[in-house]
Amino acid sequence: MVNDENPLRTRTERRDAAKNRQLILNTAQRLFEQFGVEQVSMNQIATEAQIGPGTLYRRYRNKGELCQDLIKDSVDLFFEDIEVYLEENETVSANQKLKEIISLFIRFREKKVQLLTGVEETRSTNPLKSRTKSPLYVELHQILVQLFDEMKAKEQTTHSHSVFKADMVLMALSSDSYLFQKDVRGYSPEEILELLCSTFISN
């Protein structure tokens, strides 16, 4: 079978695709910072980037996927921070480790609030389904479950409902819930942390 693919054309297409991706990300980042994720449309991004809407939608089906790409490096660094903390604090109680992991996520959420909201908002019409499919929440959920299990083993309790507790913690830290507690109820990030810990982590 003869391979008719032109290597030069293929490399050019890949370079063009990489260039378009970076152009889209840079444009989206600038618009999001200027107007906020919710106020910016996909068509606006395409217009500002001077590319066709089809080019944009071939790479990103919606703003959620675009936000996911923009936040990817930050998410990787976030989990590296968690890994380093857990490795350096193996002998610390599960309670304390849980509190620190939740604190790290709250600080991360505060820094990346717009992009996280964008990721959650447009990944799915069902917010619960969106979070269960998000790589960020899937990995964080696994870490929380492990720590709740560790706490159960230490306390020698039969039922700790670790999966349920991890679900509820992440639900409380989702954009809608977290921002409601901050903006409507008036709780500070520090107060939200303490209330979550007092609710889900035994002393």
Kindly list the structural domains of the chain, giving each domain's residue range(s) and its CATH number in brackets, ordered by start: 1-60 (1.10.10.60), 62-200 (1.10.357.10)
Is residue 106 predicted with pLDDT exceeding 90?
yes
The rounded mean pLDDT for the chain is 88
Query: Which has the higher per-residue pLDDT, 58 or 15?
Result: 58
Neighbours of 81 (CB within 10 A): 14
Average pLDDT (100-107) is 97
Average pLDDT (48-65) is 93
Report residue 149 as tokens: 């299990």
With contact defined as beta carbons under 8 Å apart, do 78 and 108 qualify?
yes
Task: Of 53-62, 102-111, 130-139, give the lowest mean pLDDT range.
Answer: 130-139
Average pLDDT (103-119) is 93
Assign 133 a pLDDT band (cuts: 50, 70, 90): low
Rg (CA), the chain: 21
With contact defined as beta carbons under 8 Å apart, do 117 and 175 qualify?
yes
Query: Which has the higher per-residue pLDDT, 125 or 165?
Result: 165
Assign 10 a pLDDT band (cuts: 50, 70, 90): low
Residue 27 identity: T
Q: Is the dihedral of CA 22, 25, 29, 31 positive or negative?
A: positive
Question: Cα separation of 98 and 105, whole Å?
Answer: 11
Q: In this predicted structure, what is the pLDDT of residue 180?
A: 97
With contact defined as beta carbons under 8 Å apart, do 83 and 77 qualify?
no
Q: What percent of the chain has pLDDT over 90?
A: 69
Task: Of 32-41, 110-119, 128-137, 162-171, give the lowest mean pLDDT range.
Answer: 128-137
Q: Is 6 helix (H, G, I), strand (E, B) or coil?
A: coil
Question: Cα separation of 37 and 43, whole Å?
Answer: 13
Average pLDDT (3-17) is 64
With contact defined as beta carbons under 8 Å apart, do 149 and 139 qualify?
no
Is residue 42 predicted with pLDDT exceeding 60?
yes
Is residue 71 predicted with pLDDT exceeding 70?
yes
